[in-house]
């Protein structure tokens, strides 16, 4: 390659964009791609006291496959995350719809107020739910004062339901954003056309608005489902014994149990399961969408 050719290549549109992107890309490669590659390798190793036996083996995966505790944990994490996703998307949709179609002025302020709790003190928001659901919490003291119960209800905190309620509340603001964006993008003249052609509001919603907003629904499903499977704080704070999830066990392997390869294998297994479920759910929603239209 001659010098002129090289300068031309460097000055080309594509190369300039690539160069500009490269610091960010290199950072992500070094601190995301390589580390994930390393834990995948790790998951095939064995812990040998404080050191590692680097012979590649499937032993860790065999342990996860054979011991019922891991399957229970994985299954529970998926169920919790799935329920949380369903609850958040169903509750978020009407709000996104409300802001996109009913609010006339100051839409940005509404979105700002809705999303702000998502950014503030994750730890304390989860903790605040203990004050709501706890033995002397808001719900119990209100019910007692109203004379509806005599003894505080003890089944509302420290179990799987508490985890689901708390996580749903924490992720609601985040689920609204993608749904809102897709609703906002819908060309309003399509809705008028549907009305002119004789569709009643409900039919119009089902046949025009809903299918057009499905990309937002899919995005919301993914941004809620994938991170919640790996949540550590919520099960630890409000989950009690029955609410333990996979992340708590991963942490134990990297902490007390000191079995890093097993922890890595657990993390990889969880990721593979999550991706498989997420992809099939997204595909299913798309399929339903194509059927209604």
Partner 1 sequence: MKFRFLTLYAVVFMFILYLPVLLLPLFSFNDSTIVAFPIKGFTTHWYETLLKEEPMLLSLVNSLKVACATAFFSTLLGICGARAVTRYNFFAKKTITAFVMLPLVLPEIIIAISLLVVLLRMGFDLSLFSVTLGHILMTVPFSIAVLISSFEGFDKSLEEASMDLGEGPLMTFFRVTLPMVAPGIVSSLLITFTISLDEFIVAFFLSGTEPTLPIYIWGQLRFTAKLPTVVALGSCLLISSFLLLWMAEFFRRRVQKRTGIKESVL
Region binding partner 1 by CB under 8 A among candidate stretches 56-64, 97-105, 210-218, 285-293: 97-105
Name the residue nearer to partner 1 (CB basis): 124 or 197.
Answer: 124
Site for partner 1 in 44-83 (CB under 8 A): none
Site for partner 1 in 272-291 (CB under 8 A): 274
31 near partner 1 (CB under 8 A): yes
247 near partner 1 (CB under 8 A): yes
Rounded to a whole number of angstroms, the minimum distance from the CB of residue 59 to partner 1 is 18
Give the C-alpha distances (Å, rounded to integers) separating 287 from 54, 82, 240, 290.
Answer: 45, 19, 38, 5
Name the residue nearer to partner 1 (CB basis): 63 or 252.
Answer: 252
Q: Contact 249/235 with Cβ under 8 angstroms?
A: no
124 near partner 1 (CB under 8 A): yes
Site for partner 1 in 171-200 (CB under 8 A): 172-173, 177, 180-181, 184
- Cα separation, 181 vs 8, in Å, equals 40
Exposed, middle or buried: residue 285 (CB in 10 Å: 0-12, 13-18, 19+)?
middle
Q: Would you call 52 helix, strand, or coil by DSSP?
A: strand
Region binding partner 1 by CB under 8 A among candidate stretches 2-10, 30-38, 59-67, 154-162: 30-38
Rounded to a whole number of angstroms, the minimum distance from the CB of residue 116 to partner 1 is 6
108 near partner 1 (CB under 8 A): yes
Rounded to a whole number of angstroms, the minimum distance from the CB of residue 154 to partner 1 is 14
- Chain CA centroid to CA 13, Å: 36
Taking phi over 0 as left and psi of -120 to 50 as alpha, with beta for the rest, 180 belongs to: alpha
Exposed, middle or buried: residue 217 (CB in 10 Å: 0-12, 13-18, 19+)?
buried
């Amino acid at each position: 390659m001659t010098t002129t050719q090289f300068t031309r290549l460097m000055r080309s549109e594509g190369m300039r964009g690539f160069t500009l992107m490269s610091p960010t890309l290199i950072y992500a490669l070094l601190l995301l791609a390589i580390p994930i590659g390393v834990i995948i390798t790790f998951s095939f190793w064995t812990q040998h006291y404080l050191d590692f036996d680097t012979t590649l083996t499937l032993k860790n995966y065999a342990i996860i496959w054979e011991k019922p505790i891991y399957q229970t944990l994985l299954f529970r994490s998926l169920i919790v995350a799935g329920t949380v996703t369903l609850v958040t998307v169903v509750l978020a949709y009407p709000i996104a719809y409300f802001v996109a179609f009913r609010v006339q002025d100051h839409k940005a302020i509404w979105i700002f107020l809705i999303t702000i709790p998502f950014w503030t003190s994750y730890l304390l928001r989860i903790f605040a739910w203990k004050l709501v659901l706890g033995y002397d919490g808001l719900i119990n003291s209100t019910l007692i004062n109203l004379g509806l119960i005599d003894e505080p209800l003890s089944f509302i905190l420290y179990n799987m339901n508490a985890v689901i309620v708390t996580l749903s509340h924490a992720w609601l603001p985040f689920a609204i954003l993608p749904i809102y964006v897709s609703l906002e993008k819908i060309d309003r003249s399509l809705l008028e056309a549907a009305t002119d052609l004789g569709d009643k509001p409900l039919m119009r919603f089902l046949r025009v608005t809903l299918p057009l907003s499905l990309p937002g629904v899919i995005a919301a499903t993914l941004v809620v489902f994938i991170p919640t499977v790996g949540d550590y704080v919520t099960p630890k704070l409000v989950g009690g014994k029955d609410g333990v999830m996979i992340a708590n066990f991963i942490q134990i392997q990297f902490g007390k149990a000191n079995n890093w390869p097993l922890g890595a294998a657990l993390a990889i297994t969880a990721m593979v399961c999550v991706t498989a479920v997420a992809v099939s759910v997204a595909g299913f929603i798309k399929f339903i969408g194509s059927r209604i239209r």
